[in-house]
Structure formats: structure tokens, C-alpha cells
Chain A
Amino acid sequence: MIERNAKITITVHPGTSKGGELENFDPIDINPGDTISIVGPTGSGKTAFINDIEVFAQGDTVTGRRIDFNGEAPPDEFSRDPARKPVAMITQNTKCLADLTVREFLDMHASIRGSAGEGMAERALDLANGFTGEKIDARFKMSSLSGGQTRSLMIADAVAISDAPILLLDEIENAGIFRDAVIATLRSLERAVIFVTHDPYVSMISDRRIVMRDGRVESVLRPRDSEREALASVRGMDEALSRVRERIRAGEVITGGGAL
């Protein structure tokens, strides 16, 4: 495991597109606290990009990219031992298969950390409850959690128990989590987060936006203040949609143009 306070940098070096042409971008550094979104059409290579990071590709994946850790090839166990590697990936498919309660699940994970695992389960549960509006009780069965609760718990587990400095989140935004809370918490805990996303709001609140096309990185954008006004209106629309979503869930019929 990485020292929590140690400064780490992960660097993505260019590979090749699906057609075999070289990617044209400057190496991308990822540091704790960074928020990056990966955008682009379906099939453009977004998931392949974070897979490369997850396995610390060394030119041995379909993309040919190379991922450095602190400026050099990472130690072998990073790509093989989930307890040592500084990256945790959570996708829409990520599930807990075992028939366990939330408490048993978190304890099971924390127990692997030995004495360091003490108190981690409570911390993970608290964090998770900050990420979702549907309260997670330690006595709930993992299998009965909603999508939003599961995703919240997985992110909290990766932060509090795996202690991963870098999180890769693959299209989890539609699963009923507080995206602002997740991003703010991860920033405050000095964790880097990389979203594969189709969500305009998540894309716009990220520090950097990596645009994918035909399997290659087309551009790396840092819109910063230039999008500030647009972000305010996207946030308004997003909130309005959330309200409508809640009302529909509550069984209401939405009438009149003023609903938004």
C-alpha cells in the first residue's frame, strides 16, 4: 500500500488509435486531488483508457499506452495485488456477490488490513451515507441495496478501506449518488478521481476533460473559467431535472411548462 501522505503521480503516455496511428498528446499527469472526466461517443475508447490505468499498461494492451508511477514503470504487484495497487475501479457492473450484510461486507474487507483495519468499517459507512440520500444501515443485506446505495458504498469502501489514492469510476453517475459530495469529498481527502461519463454536469465540474475518438485521445481540455456561466445554467437544469425525477418517482403527474 502507498503511504497516505506520499506524493504520487501517475503519467499516461500516448499509444496508438484503433487504426494504428500514433496518439498526439503530451503525457497526462494525474495527481491526488485531481478530477478528470473522459468523454466521447460510445466505442471511442473511454473504458479502454481507464483499463490501461487500472492494469498499469506497459505497451501491452490494445492501445499500446504506457502508464508510469512516479516517473517509472510501476512495481509488478501494483497490477496484480488489489491490496497494494493504488487504483480502485468501480463500474456499473461492480457487485458484492456474497450474501452478506453491509457490516459483514465492510468487516470482511477491513479484516484483511489487520490492525490498520480498525474503525475503517464505520468510516466507510459514514462516507457512503454522505454520498447517497437513501440511508444505508449496517444491518442491510448487500444484495438488497439500491444501485445508488451500492455505488456509494463501493466508492466509500475504496476510499476508506482500500485507501486507494486514485479512483476510476465508469459511468456510475446515473445511479442515484450525490456527484458534488463525491467529488468534494475525494478532493478534500486528496484522492484523484477519473470519471468515464456521459453526464454534462460531471464533465463540466471536472478540472480536466479528456476527449476520446476512434480509440485515441483527441484532446485534453481545461475549460476552467471559460465554462463558468454555462456551468451555472447546466447546474440549474440538472437540479430542475432532479426535482422532476423525484416527483415522478413519488407518483406525480408533471403538468404545465412551469414544472422546470
Chain B
Amino acid sequence: MVVAGPPSAGKTAVIKNMIRHLGGRAKAAYLKIDVVAAFEDEELRAEFGIPTKKVYSGDLCPDHMGIMVVRDAIDWAEGEGADVLILESAGLCLRCTPYITGSLGICVVSALSGTRAPLKMAPMIALSDACIVTKTDLISQAEKEVFRESIRRVSPEMDIVETNAVQGTGLRHLYRLMDSAGAAEDSPAAELRGSPPLGVCTVCIGKKDIGWQSHFGVIRRIEDADNVYRGE
């Protein structure tokens, strides 16, 4: 199960509820991908006694890192005797979607991020199986409804679950999705659901010059910088 979402959206709080829901019925393993620092693995190991691991992407894009290591991670989880691997993204540019075919993809978005936020995170929402909206206890009924409409504009059929993830309220539908999820494809056929804009570009390799004149590969001038990504 892949859990993606912006920093501080409440991904880990949602994951804690997921692990609680699995209870004694299925053993979970957890992998956190982050850039320079992560503590969630230690937190979850201490709280639930499950095998956890973290991977720092350092100079690499964290979603790129996630894509590189996910097969190894499945092997690791199996080696630990886990039935379910929960993979938590770093959640940075929100353009890449680390969801994988044949496994559950969960997007976590905070209701505090503003009513138009879902439109900015379109690919991350559109390619998920369910969108969990957290912190809904803090906002007005009006904004809750407008937030929901924004998600529907990105993905009209999206499964939306509203929750106060710290209390774990309202997650019944997520649990149902978890229970009905089949085994992940571990065949070579499993792949990313969307095509991320990954590339070994001049910025990726550490060139610090600014302006398109100093770069090669995919470049944009200001007048043709309107390549808007609209989802798969």
C-alpha cells in the first residue's frame, strides 16, 4: 500500500490507524522515503513493534528513489515475514505519483491546505484509489464541501474519506478498501500508474547556473513555459 501526500498532511497519522486496523490479522512492514531526515520509522517501530525502515534520497528526487527501491522493499518486507508493506512517500513536488499497479494507492491531503489545493496536486490525487482528507475537524462545513468539490473536479469518481486522523474518526471506508485489496502484483508487470517527469537533467546532476542558456536537455523559455500537466 502506497501512501502519498504533501509534508504534514497527516500521512503517518493515517498509517497508524491503518496498522491498528490490520491488528493481529496481518503483519505490517513500513518503509519511509524521505530526503534528509525522517523519524516516522522509529516512531512506528516503538509504537507497534513492526519492522520499519527508512531510505534517504539525499541528492536524488525522493520519488525517483522510491521507484528505484520499491522492489527491494517488497523483498525486504517478505524477508521480515510481513503480509502488508506500507510505503510512505516524502511528499514533495506532488507531481510524481509513486502509486503502483496492483496495489492500493492512498493520497492524504490536509483540509487546511486551502480549498484550491487539490487542483494543484491533481496527478497525485487522480491516480490514487482513495483521497483521505485530514484535519476536517478544524474547518467550516462550507470549506469542507468546497474542498470536496475541488477533489471532484480533479477526479469526479474519487473515493473521498474525511477524517480527524489523530482521533481516527471516519476511516471506516479506508479500512473497507484495505480489506478488499488483493495481493500486490510482484510480477515484472507491476509498474507505476502514471509517467513521472523524471529525467537526468542538468539541474539533477548538480549544475547551479540559472537561465535556460546554461542548460541542455529539457529547457523552457518564459514564453513557452506553459506545459501544464493535466493528469493521465
Contact = CB atoms under 8 A, between A and B. Distances in A.
A108 B162 contact: no
Contacts of A109: 141-142, 145-146
B140 A154 contact: yes
Interface residues of B, number: 26
A82 B144 CA distance: 7
Interface residues of A, number: 34
Interface in B135-173: 136-146, 148-149, 160-162, 167-170, 172-173
A79 B140 contact: no
Binding site secondary structure of chain B: helix
Interface in A127-169: 154, 157-158, 161-162, 164
Given A58-B172, A61-B169, A80-B173, A108 B114 contact: no
Contacts of B115: 98, 108
B145 A83 contact: yes
A97 B139 contact: yes
A112 B145 contact: yes
Contacts of A80: 160-162, 170, 173
Contacts of B161: 80
Contact of A96 (B137, B140, B170): B140
Interface of A: 51, 54-55, 58, 60-62, 76, 79-83, 88-91, 93-98, 105-106, 108-109, 112, 154, 157-158, 161-162, 164
20 contacts: A51-B167, A55-B169, A60-B175, A61-B169, A76-B173, A81-B160, A83-B145, A88-B141, A89-B137, A90-B141, A93-B137, A94-B139, A94-B140, A97-B114, A105-B142, A157-B141, A158-B141, A161-B141, A161-B142, A162-B145
Given A94-B138, A98-B115, A108-B142, 15 more contacts: A51-B167, A58-B172, A61-B169, A79-B170, A82-B136, A82-B141, A82-B145, A83-B145, A93-B137, A94-B139, A97-B143, A108-B115, A109-B146, A112-B149, A164-B141
